[in-house]
Amino acid sequence: MAQKKTPPNNRGYYVRMKLLHNKHNRPQQDKNCFHKYYKWILWLSLSLYFFTSYLISNNHHNHNHNHPTPQPHHNTRTLIESNSTTTTPQLGLLKNMKVFVYDLPPKYNTDWLANERCSKHLFASEVAIHRALLTSEVRTFDPYDADFFFVPVYVSCNFSTVNGFPAIGHARTLIASSVKLISSEYPFWNRSRGLDHVFVASHDFGSCFHTLEDVAMADGVPEVMKNSIVLQTFGVLYDHPCQKVEHVVIPPYVSPESVRNTVENSPVDGRRDIWVFFRGKMEVHPKNVSGRFYSKKVRTVIWRKYNGDRRFYLRRHRFAGYQSEIARSVFCLCPLGWAPWSPRLVESVALGCVPVVIADGIRLPFLSAVKWAEISVTVAEKDVGRLAEILEHVAATNLSTIQRNLWDPETRRALLFNSKVQEGDATWQVLRALSGKLDRSYRSLRVSRQLDFDT
Ligand SMILES: *[C@@H]1O[C@H](CO)[C@@H](O)[C@H](O)[C@H]1NC(C)=O
Ligand SMILES: *[C@@H]1O[C@H](CO)[C@@H](O)[C@H](O)[C@H]1NC(C)=O
Ligand SMILES: *[C@@H]1O[C@H](CO)[C@@H](O)[C@H](O)[C@H]1NC(C)=O
Ligand SMILES: *[C@@H]1O[C@H](CO)[C@@H](O)[C@H](O)[C@H]1NC(C)=O
Ligand SMILES: *[C@@H]1O[C@H](CO)[C@@H](O)[C@H](O)[C@H]1NC(C)=O
C-alpha cells in the first residue's frame, strides 16, 4: 500500500484505508462464526489436553529411568501438534494497544528476502516480527491511532560470499536513512523524537551493530535510535553500552517449521540416548567485557576435558540434521560464543533438552513467561572444568523435575516466532513487553490527559 506518499495530516485517508482493509481482509463473518463455536473449541481442547496428559503420564510410568538415558516425561509429538488452544490470540491482555507498521520502500526490507536464508537464519527475528505484525490484530492502519510505530529494516541479510556470515557494516546507514525518510514524510517521529518507535536488532551485540564486542562497545547505540525501543537478542545483567537504550530482550530465531519437522521425525518413545550434547565451533576468542578478561576459553576447556568422554557427544562441525541430535539429548550445552546468547537456548527448550547455560551474566528473554531457573542448569564459566560432576549431581537429584518444567507447552511456545501471532508465542511476548511501555505512547498520554480534563 502506498501510504508513504500521503500528506501526513490527511487523517481521512488513513481511516479510509482502515475501513477498506477491514472490508477486504478481515471477513467479519468468519469472526462471528468463530465466536459462536468458541466454547465448543475450548471444551474440545481441554478434553484433548486432559486425555493426552493421561496418556502421557501412563506412558511415563511404563518406562524405567535408567541413567544415563533418562526418559523425558512427555511424548514430544502430542503436545506440539495440539495447537488448537493457541489459535485464539487473546489480545485483550494487550490493553487495546495499537501498532503502526511503516510501509518502507523494499530496499529497507523485502528486497533482502531474495536470499532465502534471510527469513530463516538465527537473526531472522527482524523478518519474523515484521511479518507477524502485518497480520496481527494490534496492527492499525491509522497512525494517529497508534501507540507504537514499528520500523521494519532488515540489516542482517547481507551474507558474506566468503564465509556466509551476515555483514552488518551497512546497518547504521540503512537505519539512519530509514529514520530520515519517516521523519520527513510523517509527523510521528518528530513529535516524540522516536520515543514510541520500535526497531529490531537481532545480531550479536544488538543495538551496537557490530560483530566484535570491543568495536561494538566503542561504537555504542547509534545516536538516531537512542530514544527509541529496541528489540534485541543481546542482554546482560551488568552495565554494557549495547543495552543503553530502552529495549526488550528477545530470543534468537529458530524456525518453528524446523522444530515441528524434527519432532515429527524423532522416535515416538522420546528416548534420549545422548547424555550431553554440543555441536559447534570449539575455539572462540576469549571475551573482554568491561575490563574483565577471561583467559580461559570456555569451549576449548570443554573440548580438551571432555572430548573422548563417552558421556559427552561433542562435534565441531555443522550438520544439517543437528536438531534431531538435540531431540535425542538429555543436556544441551549453551556456552557463550562471540556473544553470550546462542540459538541453542531456543532449540534446546523447543526440543526438550535441558539447556546448560554457560555464559556469566547473560540476561535471558521473556522472564515472565519462561522460568529459566526452573528449566535449565546454569554453570559458571569458572566451573566449566567440573561440568560432568555438576551434571551428574543434577541427574541424581532434580533432573526429572527440570525436565517436567521444561516440557510445559507454554514455555516452549514463548520462544518461537510464528508467521502469524499466536497467543503466548515470541511475537506475543514482545507485544506484551511493549504494553508495559505504554507510558511512551503519545496516544495514551493524550487519552489520559483527556480523561483528566473530563473529570
Ligand atoms: C495447527 O494450526 C495450523 C494453522 O492454524 C493448521 O494448519 C494445522 O493443521 C494445525 N495442526 C493441528 C495438529 O491441529
Ligand atoms: C554488503 O556487504 C559487503 C561487504 O561484505 C559490502 O561491500 C556491500 O556494500 C554490502 N551491501 C550493501 C547493500 O550494503
Ligand atoms: C522533522 O524534523 C526534521 C529535522 O528537524 C525536519 O527536517 C523534518 O522536516 C521534520 N519533519 C516533519 C514532518 O516536519
Ligand atoms: C580488556 O579491556 C580493558 C578495557 O576495557 C583493557 O584495558 C585490557 O587491556 C583488555 N585486555 C585484553 C587482554 O585485551
Ligand atoms: C537443581 O539442583 C541444583 C543443585 O544441584 C540447583 O542449583 C537448581 O536450582 C535445581 N533446579 C531445580 C529446578 O530445582
CA atoms of 374 and 190, how far apart (whole Å): 44
Same structural domain, 140 and 269: no
C-alpha count within 13 angstroms, C-beta hemisphere, residue 113: 12
Phi, psi (deg, nearest 5) at residue 426: -65, -40
Could you tell me which of 244, 225, 128 has the C-alpha nearest to residue 182? Answer: 225
Say yes or no: CB of residue 293 within 6 Å of ligand 4: yes
Say yes or no: CB of residue 409 within 6 Å of ligand 3: no
Same structural domain, 281 and 153: no
User: Beta strands 329-335 and 274-279: pairing type?
Assistant: parallel
Instruction: With respect to residue 380, please indicate whether it lies within any of the assigned structural domains.
Output: yes
Instruction: With respect to residue 397, please indicate whether it lies within any of the assigned structural domains.
Output: yes
Atom of ligand 3 nearest to the CA of 187: 13
Exposed e or buried b per residue across 161-177, where buried means at least 16 C-beta atoms within 10 angstroms of its C-beta:
eeeeebbbeebbebbee
Global confidence as pTM: 0.77
- The neighbour count for residue 321, using CB atoms within 10 Å, is 8
Say yes or no: CB of residue 288 within 6 Å of ligand 4: yes
Ligand 5 centre and the CA of 406: distance in Å? 13
Q: Structurally, how many domains does the chain consist of?
A: 2
Domain residue limits at 222: 95-253+422-454
pLDDT for res 281: 83
**Ligand 2 pocket test: which of 158, 163, 175 has the largest number of ligand atoms within 8 Å of its C-beta?**
158
Instruction: With respect to residue 73, please indicate whether it lies within any of the assigned structural domains.
Output: no
Same structural domain, 245 and 358: no
Same structural domain, 236 and 102: yes
Atom of ligand 2 nearest to the CA of 169: 2
- The neighbour count for residue 42, using CB atoms within 10 Å, is 13
At 428, list the grid cell. 506475543
Instruction: With respect to residue 27, please indicate whether it lies within any of the assigned structural domains.
Output: no
- The neighbour count for residue 340, using CB atoms within 10 Å, is 28
pLDDT for res 340: 87
Looking at residue 288, what DSSP letter applies? Answer: E
Strands (E), 128-282: 148-150, 197-201, 229-232, 246-249, 274-279
Ligand nearest to the CA of 391: 5
Contacts of 346 (CB under 8 A, 6+ apart): 251, 252, 253, 254, 415, 416
Instruction: With respect to residue 386, please indicate whether it lies within any of the assigned structural domains.
Output: yes
CA atoms of 311 and 433, how far apart (whole Å): 40
One-letter identity of residue 5? K
CA angle 53, 56, 60 (to 5 degrees): 140
Q: Under a CB-based contact definition with an 8 Å cutoff, are residues 426 and 176 in contact?
A: no
CA atoms of 124 and 159, how far apart (whole Å): 13
CA angle 5, 10, 16 (to 5 degrees): 90
Four-residue CA torsion sign, 377, 383, 389, 393: negative
Same structural domain, 125 and 230: yes
Same structural domain, 227 and 300: no
- The neighbour count for residue 290, using CB atoms within 10 Å, is 12
pLDDT for res 188: 97
Could you tell me which of 273, 268, 233 has the C-alpha nearest to residue 253? Answer: 233
Instruction: With respect to residue 175, please indicate whether it lies within any of the assigned structural domains.
Output: yes
One digit per residue, pLDDT tens: the chain, 455 residues? 434 444 444 444 443 333 334 334 444 444 455 555 555 655 656 555 555 554 444 444 434 343 444 444 444 444 444 444 444 445 556 768 999 999 999 999 999 999 999 999 999 999 999 999 999 999 999 999 999 999 999 999 999 888 888 888 899 999 999 999 999 999 999 999 999 999 999 998 999 998 888 889 999 999 999 999 999 999 999 999 999 999 999 999 999 999 999 999 987 777 899 999 999 887 665 554 444 445 347 888 899 999 999 999 999 888 888 999 999 999 999 998 878 899 999 999 999 999 999 999 999 999 999 999 999 999 999 999 999 999 999 999 999 999 999 999 999 999 999 999 999 999 999 999 999 999 999 887 766 655 555 54
Instruction: With respect to residue 80, please indicate whether it lies within any of the assigned structural domains.
Output: no
Same structural domain, 375 and 272: yes
pLDDT for res 87: 43
Q: What share of the chain is helix, strand, coil (3-state, %, to 5)?
A: 50, 10, 40
Residue with cell 559427552: 312
Ligand 2 centre and the CA of 110: distance in Å? 16
Same structural domain, 316 and 443: no
Final residue in a domain of this structure, among 382, 397, 414: 414
Total residues found in the chain within this entry: 455
Instruction: For residue 425, count CB atoms less than 10 angstroms from its CB and return exposed for 0-12, middle for 13-18, buried for 19 or more.
Output: buried
Same structural domain, 182 and 287: no
Say yes or no: CB of residue 295 within 6 Å of ligand 4: no
pLDDT for res 297: 79
Strand 148-150: give its sheet, edge to edge. 99-101, 148-150, 197-201, 229-232, 246-249
Same structural domain, 208 and 276: no
Same structural domain, 267 and 383: yes
Residue with cell 497467543: 423
**Ligand 2 pocket test: which of 108, 115, 170 has the largest number of ligand atoms within 8 Å of its C-beta?**
170
Exposed e or buried b per residue across 210-232, where buried means at least 16 C-beta atoms within 10 angstroms of its C-beta:
bbebeebbebbbbebbebbbbbb
Q: Under a CB-based contact definition with an 8 Å cutoff, are residues 235 and 291 in contact?
A: no
CA atoms of 335 and 296, how far apart (whole Å): 13
**Ligand 3 pocket test: which of 10, 188, 190, 193 has the largest number of ligand atoms within 8 Å of its C-beta?**
190
Say yes or no: CB of residue 402 within 6 Å of ligand 5: yes
Instruction: With respect to residue 242, please indicate whether it lies within any of the assigned structural domains.
Output: yes
Question: What CATH number is associated with residue 273?
Answer: 3.40.50
pLDDT for res 37: 57
Same structural domain, 173 and 193: yes
Four-residue CA torsion sign, 20, 146, 252, 123: positive
